[in-house]
Chains A and B, each alone.
With several copies, the nearest count.
Chain A
Amino acid sequence: MKNLVQLVDSIDLDSVISFVSNTSCGAVSIFLGTVRSHTKEKAVKKLLFEGYAPMAIKQMELIIAESNELYGIEKMAIQHVLGEKYVGEQVVAIAASAPHRQNAMDACTFAIDTLKKRVPIWKKEFFDDGAIWVSSHP
């Protein structure tokens, strides 16, 4: 199985979808994460994504291998941004293709759930009155 794993400045959704599209597959499932304007009713100014790049790439490759083992997908692509992102901007894109749609959709769900648990990327939220590292702040 071929895969595409990238840390990027900006999400290129077309390239993610093109990569997984395949004439042997009738189904492509895509997940797209964007910057929300509010966190718990506080207005977000911007986000900063920091990553441990080589480990993040390795963990994303592992997620694709596991997705394939669990759901028998044809191809998967994961792109995640690093750096500053503003409200409405795309921060992560995951696409999976499979001959049957349920596999593609389950794989996509598994991949984003696992990415959020395991891939060493950290998000700092900036508000008018300060900033916090999400999930990490004591």
Chain B
Amino acid sequence: MEKSVNSNKILFFGITKDITGLSELYLNLEGKSIATFKEELTLKFPKLKLLSSLNIALNHEYVPLDLIISLGDEIALIPPVSGG
């Protein structure tokens, strides 16, 4: 899907970029929960399961897994952070 107002922008960082070969992706995730999105993505890229943790951020915040995604929300894959 191309970038459009009818989609969600999904960002990949660190090792998730290497695993998926993607840095950005546009999908319509409207109405899906964070948990469902994560499950579907992991089915497509099983290597994501190997990470010790994988958080999903929504609009620059850590959110609970049962949160429902709205159109326009920015999603990001947050593998274990290692700043500092």
Partners in one complex: yes
Interface size on A, residues (CB 8 A): 29
Residue of A nearest to B60 (CB): A55
Bound CA span A135–B81, Å: 7
Residues in A with CB closer than 8 Å to B11 are 52
Q: Is the CB of B50 within 8 A of A120?
A: no
Residues in B with CB closer than 8 Å to A138 are 47, 50-51
Contact with B14, one of A55, A80, A115, A133 (Cβ below 8 angstroms):
A133
Is B66 part of the binding interface, using a Cβ–Cβ cutoff of 8 Å? no
Q: Is the CB of B13 within 8 A of A122?
A: yes
Q: Is the CB of A134 within 8 A of B82?
A: yes
Residues in B with CB closer than 8 Å to A80 are 83-84
Residues in A with CB closer than 8 Å to B81 are 116-122, 135
The size class of the interface chain B forms with chain A is 20 to 34
Given the known interface contacts A52-B11, A133-B14, A133-B15, the answer about A123 and B60 at a Cβ–Cβ threshold of 8 Å is no
Return A114 CB to nearest CB of chain B, in Å. 10
Q: Is the CB of B76 within 8 A of A135?
A: no
Residue of B nearest to A117 (CB): B81
Contact with A121, one of B15, B57, B60, B83 (Cβ below 8 angstroms):
B83
Q: Is the CB of B57 within 8 A of A136?
A: no
Residues in B with CB closer than 8 Å to A134 are 82
Question: CB-defined interface of A100-136 with B at 8 Å, one 1/0 digit per residue?
Answer: 0000000000001001111111111000000001111
Please indicate which of the listed interface residues A56, A91, A117, A136 has the most CB atoms of chain B within 10 Å of its own CB. Answer: A136
8 pairs from A and B in contact (CB 8 Å cutoff): A50-B14, A52-B76, A92-B83, A116-B83, A117-B81, A120-B81, A122-B13, A123-B82
